[in-house]
Amino acid sequence: MRDVIIIGSGPAGYTAGIYTARAGLKPLLIASSVEAGGELMKTTEVENFPGFPEGLQGPELMANFQAQAERFGTEILLDDVVEVDLKGDVKIVKTGGGETFEAKTVILATGAAYRELGLPREKELSGHGVSWCATCDGFFFREKTIAVVGGGDSAMEEASFLTRFASKVHLIHRRDTFKASKIMQDRALANPKIEVIYNSEIAELHGDAKLESVTLRNTVDGSTSELALDGLFIAVGNDPRVWLVENQIELTAEKFIQVEGRSSKTSLPGVFACGDVIDPTYRQAITAAGSGCVAALDAEHYLANH
Ligand code: NAP
């Protein structure tokens, strides 16, 4: 039986790997078969991860995380976890490749998936004008015309943040009232660079190598119009990846894994959670990495006491 199995290979998972490996716990990190490296694999330049003053590409940063975890003996398996039973003292983890593992502790670092609009060219233009992260990519849109789609707090926050860079920010929302809190709405609506396009959804994305324009569809009368854009930020919510554990572990009202205070302790003894799967608020690579460190230390203490 293993001491630690880590599920997930973003900054939280790899940091948990680095710490538990250095503690001599020989962790097994199950990284996924196609999505290893997590959300940062979809990002281009990362300029805000401390320690890299010149910035680096998202995939390069994740390769560094992986190399550092492996250097101390983290075993990495490129497979998908398809089933877990975490209730007993012996935790059972099954993979799509047909393997079954047993462990004394499990660290859940399965992340969150940004919700997509579901448009045909969305994936192809991701990183080429279409983004899900204003903090990561806003800097590339200095003096450009961009749009944010969404009507929640994230959309308000991103639109307000992006006015630091862009000359114009269209805020596209499918209804005529916002879901966002009043204070966030008021801040966005008071900003002279932000212009709201109500009752509209994006029907099509256009551009060859990068986004150039979108087709808008009016949700009331169905009419369409074209809007030229250099960038589009999609902020229509995100979903923590909890399907593996949702029937056996406590979740928050927003469906994130519930943890105790500032720790990574879940409702099940010996099961710890970290990164975006517990974080409805900050969702940064650096906060996820810090959270992975917390989970590793919590798992280490648990093993020492059991
Ligand atoms: P959210 O509250 O779920 O809002 C999602 C928004 O996107 C809604 O306005 C929704 O429209 C719209 N939407 C969903 N699917 C869409 C689609 N396919 N096409 C077009 N529009 C779509 O998500 P969020 O804004 O990411 O916020 C998530 C949580 O984090 C919330 O609890 C929020 O309060 C919190 N948060 C807090 C802060 C802060 O306080 N600083 C900042 C960010 C987030 P409808 O309104 O029509 O449903």
Q: Which atom of ligand 1 is nearest to the CA of 175?
A: 47
Regions of the chain short of the pLDDT cut 50: none
With a 6 A CB cut-off, is 300 part of the ligand 1 pocket? no
Exposure of 252 in the CB half-sphere (CA atoms within 13 A): 15
For ligand 1, the distance from its centroid to the CA atom of residue 144, given in whole angstroms, is 24
Token pair, residue 128, equals: 């080429």
DSSP helix/strand/coil, 192 = coil
So what's the pLDDT on residue 283? 86
For ligand 1, the distance from its centroid to the CA atom of residue 238, given in whole angstroms, is 8
- By C-alpha distance, which of 200, 72, 212, 5 is closest to 129? 212
With a 6 A CB cut-off, is 255 part of the ligand 1 pocket? no
With a 6 A CB cut-off, is 301 part of the ligand 1 pocket? no
With a 6 A CB cut-off, is 286 part of the ligand 1 pocket? no
- By C-alpha distance, which of 30, 5, 27 is closest to 18? 27
Residue nearest to ligand 1 atom 9, measured at CA: 151
* Phi, psi dihedrals of residue 10, rounded to the nearest 5°: -85, -165
So what's the pLDDT on residue 43? 66
* CB 5 within 8 Å of CB 104: no
From 154, 216, 232, 281, mutation site for ligand 1 pocket: most ligand atoms within 8 A of C-beta: 154
Q: Which residues pair with 194 in a beta bridge?
A: 169
Structure confidence by residue, pLDDT tens digits, 203-229: 999 999 999 999 999 999 999 999 999
For ligand 1, the distance from its centroid to the CA atom of residue 178, given in whole angstroms, is 9
For ligand 1, the distance from its centroid to the CA atom of residue 155, given in whole angstroms, is 7
The Cα–Cα gap between 186 and 93 comes to 47
So what's the pLDDT on residue 42? 66
With a 6 A CB cut-off, is 288 part of the ligand 1 pocket? no
- By C-alpha distance, which of 31, 38, 20, 33 is closest to 74? 20
CA-atom Rg of the chain in angstroms:
21
Residue nearest to ligand 1 atom 35, measured at CA: 153
Distance of CA 167 to the CA centre of its chain: 27
Structure confidence by residue, pLDDT tens digits, 59-76: 999 999 999 999 999 999
Cα–Cα separations (whole angstroms), residue 131 to 14, 139, 151, 216: 24, 12, 16, 18
* CB 151 within 8 Å of CB 180: yes
Q: Which residues pair with 57 in a beta bridge?
A: 45
From 179, 183, 184, 276, mutation site for ligand 1 pocket: most ligand atoms within 8 A of C-beta: 179
Residue nearest to ligand 1 atom 7, measured at CA: 236
Burial of 89 (0-12, 13-18, 19+ CB in 10 A): exposed
* Phi, psi dihedrals of residue 33, rounded to the nearest 5°: -85, -40
Q: Which atom of ligand 1 is nearest to the CA of 115?
A: 15
With a 6 A CB cut-off, is 158 part of the ligand 1 pocket? no
The Cα–Cα gap between 294 and 28 comes to 17
The Cα–Cα gap between 45 and 137 comes to 8
Name every residue whose Cβ is closer than 8 Å to that of residue 294 and which is 6 or more positions away in sequence. Answer: 262, 263, 264, 274
* CB 106 within 8 Å of CB 93: yes
For ligand 1, the distance from its centroid to the CA atom of residue 188, given in whole angstroms, is 14
For ligand 1, the distance from its centroid to the CA atom of residue 139, given in whole angstroms, is 23
Residue 133 bears catalytic tag: yes
For ligand 1, the distance from its centroid to the CA atom of residue 115, given in whole angstroms, is 10
* Phi, psi dihedrals of residue 72, rounded to the nearest 5°: -100, 5
The Cα–Cα gap between 91 and 2 comes to 10
Residue 274 bears catalytic tag: no
Exposure of 4 in the CB half-sphere (CA atoms within 13 A): 36
